[in-house]
A and B are shown apart, each in its own frame.
Chain A
Amino acid sequence: MRTKNLFQIKKTKKIVYVFILFLFVGILIFIQNDSFLYQVTIVRVTEVKEMQTSNAKDFGQKYQQEITSEILNGAYKGKTADYINIKSDSGAFDMNLKPGDELFVSLDENHNISSVTDFKRDFYLALITEILILSLVVLGRTKGLRTLITLLLNVFIFSLILFLRGEGFNVLLLYIVASIIFIVSTLLIISGRNLKTVCAIVSSILSLSITMVIAFSVIIIYKQSICFELMPFAIKISDYQNVFYAGILIGGLGAIMEIAIAVSSAVHELMMKKPDITVIELRTSGANIAADMMGALINVLLFTFMIGTIPMLTLAMANDLPIGLALSYFSYLEIIRSLVGAIGIVLTVPITLYTTIFIQKRGGY
């Protein structure tokens, strides 16, 4: 009886796996052919003829690309459209068209392409997302699945915030409320309903608040010297200052939660193994465990924030902007983000240590 049950479970599992695989492939095939969903005209490049137009020997060379393409949606579906594209070797602001590329275009009255707005990239984004989801669930098992659920939930909350901001709510306030929801929901889903989670939640919220108090006091002192307008996308955002603050608040949140849960599990583990452990012993082992993570996480934040500014830095310096100026234009705000995140990470360690010790001793373990 038992073996039969096990066998059946295995069989249903197999069916589920096959079903999911089919679903994922199906989604990819659908996205590859989803041009009919778009309002804008989409073409697929079928042929590219390339000619050099300037003979300069350096990188300033320009090329002319004669494109033939097939219209994929709208009234002229199936017809061919031509376009002449200019590309340069540097590729900073122009497009390098290749057969198979799909483009968003506008057509003139002879249904030829008058301008190309952008590439259609959804297939590749869906592909990497699916690979990410699959490997997360296959390698991370239940934990991977839980992570996936928190991600979906967080995306939903973020979309809700975007919507509410459009309705006129203060974006910073929204994110302050949301960050508490993020902490509670993410930690609850990932590590379950237990005392460890409670400790992690309390310490994350405490750490985040203290970090923000420090960060905002520093920012307020130096407010005059910060150019918030230089934040990416600030040009079209009226409340960019608040958006920047909210970005700082959210940016380090993931790392803070990570440290909090790691330290609180470690302390919990130590106390279970040795109930009469002293606070000083706990402090030393806790700090040891956290020391490794701290450095690594600070670097993750530094990389995520700073690396993104390299294209702008190189473009600026290649166009003879002095490096100091380039840095203050394009990296200043990112450096502030990284530093605030780093301060948050470091602060979380002692805060979690003491909160966990306090709660665990009170909790009567």
Chain B
Amino acid sequence: MILTLSAILFVLLSVIGRAKGIKTFCSVYINFSMIIFSAILIVIGVNPIAVGLVFSVLFSMITLFWVNGYNHKTLASFFSVLIVLILTGFFVLWLGTKSNISGFPSEYSEEIAEADISSSDIQINFFDVFIAIIFMGLIGTITDAALDAATTVYEIYQNNKDMPVSELFISGLNVGGDILGTMVNTLFFAFWGTFMGYFIWHQGESVLKVLNGKAFAFEYIRIASGGLGCILVIPISCITTIILLKNLRLR
């Protein structure tokens, strides 16, 4: 089944995206294997947050430098991604600690019992795992937004090299608003696609109680941090692109 769907995806990507499409296909599978590999590393005993951070940086390097090539745009995006990762990182850490979202919610207990994996005597700190996951989810979203914003500023700059910095920044932000709107929607629909089951499960219970549930809180914070990172990365990416374009000559 997965093979068939992958084959369809491959054919479509190579027909529509040509060489770049095939690259995209490969990057998706590299990313997928890296997600699995990071899970294995965590099980072996590597610190989950370290795994999350290293993989986040690797993910964004592959997407930017390999798929899109090494240039002003991707370099600027990469820097802005790092800045946003640091900025939101502390906030997420604080939020995660205060709101106690780590650990497995009770909704999963039957599945866990059925698969016979319910021993908690294991060498993994699940608080770290849950924080690492928020980082990894964040990076997937902001890399995209950063590149979009950088490309826009770059295009405007190429067409009008004498444009003052402030105007360049504002037109970058203007287009950024577009990216933002649709990105937030993408995240929202993806969230609902997986999570409507939760609300169906709890239908009829008190709304307040349902909204405080661990499964919901974790998923919501994960998606919301993605959205937040996306919002932050657009102006930051505009600024780094402008700085790089004005001060650095690549190639």
Contacts and interface: CB of A to CB of B under 8 A. Distances in A.
Interface of A: 37-40, 58-60, 88-96, 98, 100-101, 104, 118-122, 124-125, 127-129, 131-132, 135-136, 139-144, 146-147, 150-151, 154, 158, 162, 165-166, 171, 182, 186, 190, 214-215, 218-219, 221-222, 225-226, 230-237, 240, 243, 246-255, 257-258, 261-262, 287, 290-308, 310-319, 321, 323, 327, 329, 332, 334-337, 339-343, 346-347, 349-350
A312 B196 CA distance: 19
A40 B23 CA distance: 54
Given A251-B189, A318-B122, A136 B180 contact: yes
Given A121-B217, A143-B180, A258 B185 contact: yes
B67 interface: yes
Contacts of A247: 193-194, 196-197
Contacts of B118: 93, 319
Interface residues of B, number: 122
Contact of B200 (A162, A214, A221, A291): A162
Interface string B95-138: 10111111110011111100111111111111101101100110
B70 to A, nearest CB: 15
Please provide the 10 A-B residue pairs with the shortest distance between their CB atoms, ordered closest to farther: A251-B193, A303-B140, A233-B197, A143-B177, A254-B189, A296-B144, A254-B186, A295-B24, A319-B117, A258-B182
Contacts of B165: none
Contacts of A129: 224
Given A214-B8, A222-B4, A304-B191, A119 B212 contact: yes
A307 B121 contact: no
Q: Name, among A144, A315, A317, the residue most crowded by chain B CB atoms within 10 Å (CB to CB).
A: A315
A250 B193 CA distance: 5
A319 B118 CA distance: 7
29 contacts: A37-B208, A88-B121, A121-B214, A124-B221, A125-B220, A135-B232, A136-B184, A140-B176, A142-B177, A151-B185, A215-B5, A225-B1, A232-B194, A233-B200, A243-B197, A243-B200, A246-B196, A251-B190, A292-B147, A298-B28, A299-B27, A303-B136, A304-B223, A308-B133, A311-B133, A329-B115, A339-B9, A343-B8, A347-B12
B20 A300 contact: no
B95 A128 contact: yes
B103 A91 contact: yes
A338 B234 CA distance: 25
Contacts of B204: 166
A162 B32 CA distance: 32
Interface string B183-211: 11111111111101111110110101101
Contacts of A219: 1
Contacts of A287: 16-18
B22 to A, nearest CB: 11
Nearest to A34: B208
Nearest to A226: B1
Contacts of B234: 139
Interface in B138-152: 139-141, 143-144, 147-148, 151
Given A91-B125, A254-B185, A294-B21, A39 B192 contact: no
Contact of A308 (B101, B109, B219, B235): B219
Given A96-B127, A119-B212, A122-B208, 11 more contacts: A59-B123, A59-B124, A132-B231, A162-B196, A166-B203, A251-B189, A258-B183, A258-B186, A291-B17, A305-B194, A312-B108
B181 A146 contact: yes
B199 A316 contact: no
Given A236-B201, A254-B185, A254-B186, A158 B192 contact: yes
A307 B59 CA distance: 13
Interface of B: 1-2, 4-6, 8-9, 12-13, 16-18, 20-21, 23-24, 27-28, 31-32, 35-36, 38-40, 42-43, 59, 63, 67-68, 95, 97-104, 107-112, 115-127, 129-130, 132-133, 136-137, 139-141, 143-144, 147-148, 151, 173, 176-178, 180-194, 196-201, 203-204, 206, 208-209, 211-214, 217, 219-228, 231-232, 234-235
A253 B189 contact: yes
Contact of A38 (B99, B111, B208): B208
A139 B173 contact: yes
B180 A311 contact: no
Contacts of B177: 139-144
A316 B17 CA distance: 38
A125 B225 CA distance: 11
A145 B212 CA distance: 27
Nearest to A224: B1
A261 B100 contact: no
Nearest to B191: A304
A91 B43 contact: no
A310 B39 contact: yes
Contacts of B122: 59-60, 90, 92, 315, 318-319
Contacts of B191: 304
Nearest to A146: B181
A299 B13 CA distance: 14
A303 to B, nearest CB: 3
B8 A254 contact: no
A237 B111 CA distance: 14
B2 A337 contact: no
B9 A343 contact: yes
Contacts of B12: 343, 346-347
A192 B82 CA distance: 35
A94 B119 CA distance: 12
